[in-house]
Amino acid sequence: MNRRQALRWGCTQCGAFAGLAGAQADWTAPPRFTRPDVATDEGGLWAMMDREETRLRRSPFRMRDPALEAYLAGIVCKLGGEHCADVRVYAIRTPYFNANMAPNGMMQVWSGLLLRVENEAQLAAVLAHEIGHYLQRHTLEQLRDLKGRAAFAQFIGLFGLVGMVGQIATLAGALAFSREHEREADRISIALLQKTGYDPREASKIWANLLDELKATPGADPTKDSALFATHPPSDERRAALETMAAGLQGGTFEAEWRARLAPHRFGLLDDEIKRGRPFESVALLDRLIGREPDAAELLHFRGEARRQRAADGDLDAALADFQAALKTGREPAATHRALGYLYRTLKQTQPARDAWRRYLELAPGAPDAALIQQSLEELT
Ligand SMILES: [Zn+2]
């Protein structure tokens, strides 16, 4: 089973969500969990998760920003109440949209998600959904359901495979929850958002945004074609169900707070996004982000890069316009000059290419690629 098949297998059960109405008003959180006996299936699952967590803690993919992880844990605590004491949150640098929470209290939040949410309420909506799976112990139910079936072996195989390809995923993350579990986690998420003052209407917007991104690639089937969503592929039914549940509710979005938290990381995460090599999706994402922040130089820079990578009709001119708009802000990253150099060279405009690369070397003399750019500069004719 290759990775794509693995992901597809993981997603067969999570397609449609229909017929929901109202948040789960009668639902109350269970009391804190105690560590299960190691001789039980649940104890075995926890032990497996503990081993995974040890690996995760030392992983080179961990973002190692204590302030960011503490902020994420703060949101989890707000949503999770007394369960907060049992949760550890890890921010993981990998450019895919995912969060998951293992039965032992290990929560992962991937950077592709951080890049895509527009405010704290959207982030809280995803975390609340994962907390919903945790509080209802869905992973254990799923494991018990899979036991003795060929699917369980496949599931364990997937776990190993995911580890092998260097993606950080846990058993819980690789596991496709049943449709019923997904609906329940969504209902709980709306209830938790409402209780803690976040706007529950933000939850459906996440999925609308992600669907737009996936539909951007010509011929793409959002339910099948993208590795962007390891465990929760966006579906229109789910979006609609969340919208219905949140209708008439309100709360805060905390967009400025979220933007300030993400700011120190965003350049690096955008760089990761471009390196994913899915320029149609990247352009759609950046169109959306630029719609909210038209003067953000780094967003303009990276949309230019995504367009340069895509190189469809009109893209090179549009990339040039983006880079020039970034320069106009006066806050362009040095990399914009490097990108402009490459673009002008492609357009056979030697002198502007030369000027751009010289400017890049002035601004970033110690850049790892400075020697390479110097050489390209000398080779320009
Ligand atoms: Zn879920």
Looking at the domain assignment, is residue 340 inside a domain? Answer: no
Q: Is residue 269 part of a domain?
A: no
Q: Bridge-partner residues for 90, per DSSP? A: 108
Per-residue DSSP letters for 320-338? HHHHHHHHHHT---HHHHH
* pLDDT for 127 beyond 60: yes
Nearest residue to 172 via CA among 75, 49, 55, 58: 49
Instruction: Note whether residue 289 is domain-resident.
Output: no
Q: How far is the CA of 358 from the centre of ligand 1 (A)?
A: 50
- CB within 8 Å of 92: residues ≥ 6 apart: 56, 59, 61, 62, 63, 108, 109, 110, 111, 168
Q: Kindly report the backbone phi and psi dihedral angles of residue 292, in degrees, each rounded to the nearest multiple of 5, phi listed first.
A: -90, -25
How far away, in angstroms, is 133 Cα from ligand 1 center?
7
The 10 Å Cβ neighbour count of residue 280 is 18
Q: How far is the CA of 139 from the centre of ligand 1 (A)?
A: 10
Residue 2 confidence (pLDDT) above 60: no
pLDDT band at 154 (very low <50, low <70, confident <90, very high): low
Nearest to 212 by CA among 204, 315, 301, 13: 204
pLDDT at 24 over 70: no
Ligand 1 centre distance from Cα of residue 185 (Å): 6
pLDDT, mean of residues 178-194: 92
Give distance in angstroms: CA of 303 to centre of ligand 1.
31
Residue that wins the pLDDT comparison between 4 and 237: 237
The Å distance, Cα 129 to ligand 1 centre, comes to: 6
At 222 the pLDDT is 61
Q: Is the pLDDT of residue 128 over 50?
A: yes
Residue 97 lies in a domain: yes
Least reliable range by pLDDT among 167-176, 182-191, 244-253, 274-283: 167-176
The predicted model scores a pTM of 0.85
CA of 234 to the centre of ligand 1 (A): 11
In the predicted model, what is the mean pLDDT of the chain?
Answer: 85
Between 280 and 150, the more confident residue is 280
Q: Given this model, what pLDDT does residue 381 score?
A: 80
**Distance from residue 190's CA to the centre of ligand 1 (Å):** 13
CA-based nearest residue to 127, from 169, 177, 76: 76
> Can you tell me the mean pLDDT for 156-185?
57
Please provide the size of the chain in residues: 381
pLDDT tens track for 37-68: 888 878 887 888 888 889 889 989 999 899 99
Average pLDDT, integer, range 250-277: 96
Res. 296: pLDDT tops 80: yes
Count of CB atoms situated within 10 Å of the CB of 189:
29
Within a domain: residue 223? Answer: yes
C-alpha 252 – ligand 1 centre gap (Å): 23
Number of domains observed in the structure of the chain: 1
Tell me how far the alpha carbon of residue 31 lies from the centroid of ligand 1, in angstroms: 21
Asked whether residue 319 is assigned to any structural domain, the reply reads: no
**125 has pLDDT over 90:** yes
pLDDT band at 249 (very low <50, low <70, confident <90, very high): very high
Report how far Cα 373 is from the mean position of its chain's Cα atoms. Answer: 32
CA of 332 to the centre of ligand 1 (A): 39
Q: What is the pLDDT of residue 152?
A: 53
* CA–centroid distance, residue 331 to ligand 1 (Å): 39
Range of the domain at 79: 3-246
Q: Assess if residue 260 is contained within a domain.
A: no
CB 299 within 8 A of CB 328: no
Cα 285 to middle of ligand 1, angstroms = 23
Nearest 5°: the CA angle 154, 157, 163 is 145
Q: Is residue 185 part of a domain?
A: yes
β-pairing verdict for 106-110 and 99-101: antiparallel
Residues 6+ apart with CB under 8 A from 6: 158, 161, 162, 174
Least trusted range by pLDDT, from 87-96, 145-154, 348-357: 145-154
Give 230's pLDDT tier (boundaries 50, 70, 90): low
Q: Which of the residue ranges 47-51, 104-108, 276-280 would you say has the lowest mean pLDDT?
A: 47-51
The average pLDDT across 282-299 equals 97
